[in-house]
Amino acid sequence: MNTTIAIITGDIIDSRKVKPETWLPYLKKALSTYGKEPAHWEIYRGDSFQLEIPSEKALEAAIHIKASLKQNKELDVRLGIGLGKKDYDSDKITESNGSAFVYSGECFENLKKQTLALKSNVTSFDTTLNLMLELATLTMNNWLPATARVVKTAMENPKANQKELASLLETTQSNISEALLRAGFDEVQKLIYFYKSQLAKL
């Protein structure tokens, strides 16, 4: 498929029930991990956003954004990942276009009860991954703030062991271990690895 980029289109679920100052700092901090505004990411229409990222990092970034928002119990996010080309490059990501943007928009618009999905030009790849994402979000949608914080920190410090994560979060190693177990973090990492391995075959 020779996928060059991924576009993540997202929005905050029920954002009208929560003041922007509650969720905006979490979202901006997460997005700024992946590039500069407005070339690589942009927040628009109040609570919607778009992020451009290398395709192999897309699922990781989506889960990291979700964990970042879920540090607040009132927050969650819907995310549609589009994998494809970028034909027109603007200074602002919301003015760029190409198949990655089209797929991302279509994927996002088709999210109903689902909070995370992807779309490319390979149907078999999409079908398999979307089924796995549907199952994974059964757990991720229920992450509590303390669990989400541990997941976010673990993703931001991939080389850190549980003892080091405990030190970063000023808690005990057993708390970290329990939180990662509750979060299904091992399974999430396996899912990310599977996504990358299947993407490499396209």
Domain ranges of the chain: 5-201
pLDDT band at 3 (very low <50, low <70, confident <90, very high): low
Give the 3-state secondary structure of residue 42: strand
Say which CATH topology domain 5-201 has.
Answer: Alpha-Beta Plaits (3.30.70)
DSSP at 122: -
Question: Residue 160 is which amino acid?
Answer: A
pTM score, whole prediction:
0.95
| 185-198 residue pLDDT tens | 999 999 999 999 99
pLDDT by residue (tens digit) across 63-108? 999 999 999 999 999 999 999 999 888 899 988 899 999 999 999 9
Q: Smallest Cα–Cα separation from 3: which of 136, 103, 106? A: 103
| 186 burial type by CB count under 10 A (0-12 exposed, 13-18 middle, 19+ buried) | exposed
In the numeric block, the tokens 């996928």 are attached to 3
CA dihedral (23, 29, 30, 36) in degrees, to 10, reads: 130
| Sheet order of strands, 116-119 included | 41-44, 48-54, 5-12, 77-84, 116-119
pLDDT of 158-179, one tens digit each? Answer: 999 999 999 999 999 999 999 9
The pLDDT, as a whole number, for residue 89 is 84
CA angle 143, 66, 145 (to 5 degrees): 35
Helices (H), 88-144: 99-109, 123-140
Higher pLDDT, 1 or 101: 101
Over the chain, what is the mean pLDDT?
95
Give the span between the Cα atoms of 63 and 13, in whole angstroms: 15
